[in-house]
C-alpha cells in the first residue's frame, strides 16, 4: 500500500534562517506531488506541484522554493524565512488529476 512521510512534525525557526522540509512517498511510481500551506484561519493554499523529477510549478510567488530530486521525494525550501512563513505545511500525492489526494501528517512551522 502507498504511504506518505513528511518531516519534521514541528519546527521553530528564527527569522532569516533557512528551511528544508522533506516529503517521501512509498508504494507508487511517478506520483503527482504537492505542497500546501494552511495559515491560521484554516484555508489551504497550494504552493507548488510537480508531475515528474525536476518539474516544479509554482502557484504563489514567495520566498519559498521546491525541488523534486527523485521520483518520490519532494522538498520545500527557503533561504531566509519570514514571520509570514509560519503555518502548517502539508505534502500530498495523487496518481493523477482525477484521483483523490493523500496527505502527509504535516509540519507545523513557527518563525520567531
Partner 1 sequence: AQKVTQAQTEISVVEKEDVTLDCVYETRDTTYYLFWYKQPPSGELVFLIRRNSFDEQNEISGRYSWNFQKSTSSFNFTITASQVVDSAVYFCALSGGGADGLTFGKGTHLIIQP
Give contact residues for partner 1 (rule: CB under 8 A): 32, 34, 36, 41-44, 46, 49, 51, 57, 59, 88, 90, 92, 94, 96-106, 108
In the complex with partner 1, which residue's Cβ is closer, 75 or 91?
91
At its nearest, how many Å lie between partner 1 and the CB of residue 16? Answer: 26
Based on the number of CB atoms within 10 Å of its own CB, is 73 exposed (0-12), middle (13-18) or buried (19 or more)?
middle
Could you give the CA distance from residue 66 to residue 74 in angstroms, rounded to a whole number?
Answer: 7
**Radius of gyration of the chain, Cα coordinates, nearest whole angstrom:** 13
Could you give the CA distance from residue 87 to residue 24 in angstroms, rounded to a whole number?
Answer: 20
In the complex with partner 1, which residue's Cβ is closer, 4 or 75?
4
In the complex with partner 1, which residue's Cβ is closer, 14 or 98?
98
Amino acid at each position: 500500500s502507498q504511504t506518505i512521510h513528511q518531516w519534521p512534525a514541528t519546527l521553530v525557526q528564527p527569522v532569516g534562517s533557512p528551511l528544508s522540509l522533506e516529503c517521501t512517498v512509498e508504494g507508487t511510481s511517478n506520483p503527482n506531488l504537492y505542497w500546501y500551506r494552511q495559515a491560521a484561519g484554516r484555508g489551504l493554499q497550494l504552493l507548488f506541484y510537480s508531475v515528474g523529477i525536476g518539474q516544479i510549478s509554482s502557484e504563489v510567488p514567495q520566498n519559498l522554493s521546491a525541488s523534486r530530486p527523485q521520483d518520490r521525494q519532494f522538498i520545500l525550501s527557503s533561504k531566509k524565512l519570514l514571520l509570514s512563513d509560519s503555518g502548517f505545511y502539508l505534502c500530498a500525492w495523487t496518481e493523477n488529476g482525477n484521483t483523490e489526494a493523500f496527505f502527509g501528517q504535516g509540519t507545523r512551522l513557527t518563525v520567531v
